[in-house]
């Protein structure tokens, strides 16, 4: 890339444009080893404005030939990546036993929870029966389908403490 810089400052620099007539421009890459290039296919790539690029064949002397301006580089085809190792085959048999194990485990857990719930309910009921035996026993009578407690004693009759009646 070439810029016009009469005053040496970065501000105000203008990019120069080239017009080439006739012979093409040759770009040499002397630092590339020729023996290394024989093993791999090398290509020239020209990067232009607006994210454009052009790939051309490289000449025998590590040179790229162009008729325009831009950024130039060499690209080399990479060797194909090795094929990934095959995934281990999962046996359906192991999967089947895993599912059967989970089903039996959940059934056993449900059974344990049911037995625990019944034992706790029975213990609570026994505790309530024991407490009721300690308290005063009431007579019971039926109202419809419900059994209700009834006091067998009669209340003390009220009487006036003073003879004065308002």
pLDDT under 50 in the chain at which residues? 1, 3, 37
pTM to 2 decimal places: 0.37
Give the C-alpha separation, 81 to 89, whole Å: 23
For the chain, domain boundaries: 25-76, 96-131
Could you read off the pLDDT of 58-104 as tens digits, one per residue? 887 788 888 777 888 888 877 777 888 887 766 666 788 889 999 99
Whole-number Cα distances in Å, 123 to 113, 116, 120, 129, 132: 15, 11, 5, 10, 14
């Amino acid at each position: 890339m070439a810029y016009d810089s009469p005053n040496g400052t970065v501000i105000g620099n203008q990019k120069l444009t080239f017009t080439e007539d006739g012979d093409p421009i040759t770009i040499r890459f002397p630092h590339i080893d020729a023996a290394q290039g024989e093993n791999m296919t090398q290509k020239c790539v020209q990067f232009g404005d607006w994210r454009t690029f052009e790939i051309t064949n490289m000449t025998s002397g590590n040179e790229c030939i162009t008729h325009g301006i831009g950024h130039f580089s060499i690209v080399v085809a990479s060797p194909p990546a090795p094929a990934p190792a095959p995934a281990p085959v999962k046996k359906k048999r192991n999967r089947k036993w895993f599912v059967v194990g989970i089903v039996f485990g959940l059934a056993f857990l449900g059974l344990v929870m049911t037995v625990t719930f019944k034992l706790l309910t029975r213990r609570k009921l026994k505790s309530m029966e024991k407490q009721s035996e300690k308290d005063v026993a009431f007579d019971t009578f039926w109202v419809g389908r419900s059994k209700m407690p009834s006091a067998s004693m009669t209340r003390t009759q009220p009487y006036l403490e003073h003879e004065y009646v308002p």
